[in-house]
Amino acid sequence: MRAFVTGATGFVGSHLVDALLGRGDEASCLVRNPAKAARVFPDRSPETVIGDLGDEGALRAGIEGADVVFHVAGVTSARNRAEFFSINTDATRRVLQAATDVAPDLQRFVLVSSLSAAGPTRSGKVLTEQDPPRPVSNYGASKLAGERIVMDGALPWTVIRPPAVYGPRDDELRRLFKLARLGLAPLFGDGSQQLTLIHVRDLVAALLAVPDSETTAGATYYASHPEILTAREFVTAIHAAVAKSAGKAEGDIGKPLFIPVPGWFTRGFLVVSGMAAGLAGRATMLSPDKGDELLAESWACSPSALERDTGWAATIPYSEGVPETAQWYRHQGLL
320 with 162: CB under 8 angstroms? no
For residue 117, the one-letter residue type is: A
pLDDT in tens, the chain (335 residues): 999 999 999 999 999 999 999 999 999 999 999 889 989 998 878 999 999 999 999 999 999 999 999 999 999 988 888 999 999 999 999 999 999 999 999 999 999 999 999 999 999 999 999 999 999 999 999 999 999 999 999 999 999 999 999 999 999 899 999 999 999 999 988 899 999 999 999 999 999 999 988 899 999 999 999 999 999 999 999 999 999 999 887 777 888 999 888 877 777 766 666 566 566 666 666 667 777 888 899 999 999 999 999 999 999 999 999 999 999 999 999 98
68 with 108: CB under 8 angstroms? yes
Whether CATH 3.40.50.720 fits 2-230+295-331: yes
Residues 3-29: b if buried by 16+ CB within 10 A, e if exposed: bbbbbbbbbbbbbbbbbbbeeebebbb
> 172 — phi, psi (to 5°)?
-70, -50
Q: What is the pLDDT of residue 291?
A: 79
Q: What is the pLDDT of residue 21?
A: 95
Q: What is the pLDDT of residue 292?
A: 86
For residue 258, the one-letter residue type is: F
From residue 192, how far is each of 264, 289, 315 by CA, in Å?
17, 21, 25
Rounded Cα distance between 303 and 23, Å, is 24
Rounded Cα distance between 50 and 305, Å, is 37
Q: What is the pLDDT of residue 138?
A: 93
270 with 288: CB under 8 angstroms? yes
Q: What is the pLDDT of residue 281?
A: 65
227 with 318: CB under 8 angstroms? yes
- In 3-state terms, what secondary structure has residue 219? strand
- Per domain, the residue ranges of the chain are 2-230+295-331
DSSP 167: S
Q: What is the pLDDT of residue 263?
A: 76
Q: What is the pLDDT of residue 283?
A: 62
